[in-house]
Amino acid sequence: MLDTRPMLLLSDFPQIRRAELHTLQVNLGYKCNLSCTHCHVAAGPNRTEMMDRKTVDMLLQFIDAQNIKVLDLTGGAPEMNPEFRYLVTQARKRDVKVIDRCNLTVLLEPDYEDMAQFLADNQVEIVASLPCYSEENVDKQRGKGVYDGSIEALQRLNQLGYGIEGSGLLLNLVYNPGGAFLPPPQQQLELDYKRELFDRFSIEFNELFSITNMPISRFGSVLLSKGEFNNYMGLLKGAYSEQNLESVMCRNLISIDWQGYVYDCDFNQMLEMPLVQPNNHIASDRTHIADLIEQNIEGHPIVVANHCYGCTAGQGSSCGGALE
């Protein structure tokens, strides 16, 4: 896989600093039942990296010490980590909001048929990837048959109350472009999704999040192989909006990898750009979650590079969708 990192690190992106920390985003491992072309972590069925119980317990200590409000679980398919259910139940006992970034099709896999019910029982918010409402575009990005599986999983979730008004079970969908272009306006796209999915399949959901593709990992490699990397970076820089700097997700979030090391965001994690503490004199030093349990990192500088233009381009982009 071609590496975009050398072209991203020499950057003129403005310096930003942390605000109050309220969200812990945790990558539970790279194992996944899919191998999507846009996946910025290059997850797949043959990946073996998985967070263990010792690290999970350390996360829970951090949540207690730092009064974390939101636990955002990602992967790979986070549900495929054997510690997933333990972490979810322990977080919910602490009244922490839990988000599961679900690829939907994992809910149909053998040994995971009861996962949807588990998520509902624990009132876990589901953020589900559905990069388009058309079969052709979804299968092109994620593999043949993924669209049909996603529709079946969404119907199962609706039957449990997910996405239904008044149920308290939130089901949000994620759109990302199928190529080297920015997402269309999120509000109009959400209306299109809701109309198409309801008219064709009677599927309901709460919100649509549109997320810009980052020029890193698997997608970045595709850009390089097609000679489109520089043009895409030009697109992101040309659409830069300064007002999005105040709302970028890294100001209130830290990202934890499967080994417990800390990054300013999930994208920095994939680029191996660790969070830097002021008392670290070597930029390559990695900070472990155990080192931050008693620390207040508000006001600390955030490590930036050219991929950060992806979060500030146009309407902006975050794990919660558009910023504007």
Amino acid type, 89? T
What is residue 36's predicted lDDT score, i.e. its pLDDT?
A: 67
Instruction: Yes or no: say if 321 and 282 are a contact pair by the CB < 8 Å rule.
Output: no
Q: What is the pLDDT of residues 181-236, one digit of tens each?
A: 999 999 999 999 999 999 999 999 999 999 998 998 878 888 999 999 999 999 99
CA nearest to 119, candidates 174, 159, 62, 68 = 159
Q: Is 230 left (phi over 0), alpha (psi -120 to 50) or beta?
A: alpha
Domains of the chain: 5-312 (3.20.20.70)
What is residue 285's predicted lDDT score, i.e. its pLDDT?
A: 74
What is residue 288's predicted lDDT score, i.e. its pLDDT?
A: 94
Q: What Cα–Cα distance (Å) separates residue 61 from each residue in 41, 64, 87, 122, 123?
A: 26, 5, 12, 20, 22
Q: Is 306 left (phi over 0), alpha (psi -120 to 50) or beta?
A: alpha
> d(Cα 195, Cα 216) in Å, to the nearest integer?
33
Which segments of the chain have a pLDDT < 50?
Answer: 281
81, HSE (Cβ side, Cα atoms, 13 Å): 29
- Give the predicted TM-score (pTM) of the model: 0.93
> d(Cα 176, Cα 104) in Å, to the nearest integer?
15
What is residue 189's predicted lDDT score, i.e. its pLDDT?
A: 94
Q: What is the pLDDT of residues 156-179, one digit of tens each?
A: 999 999 999 999 999 999 998 878
Q: Is 250 left (phi over 0), alpha (psi -120 to 50) or beta?
A: alpha
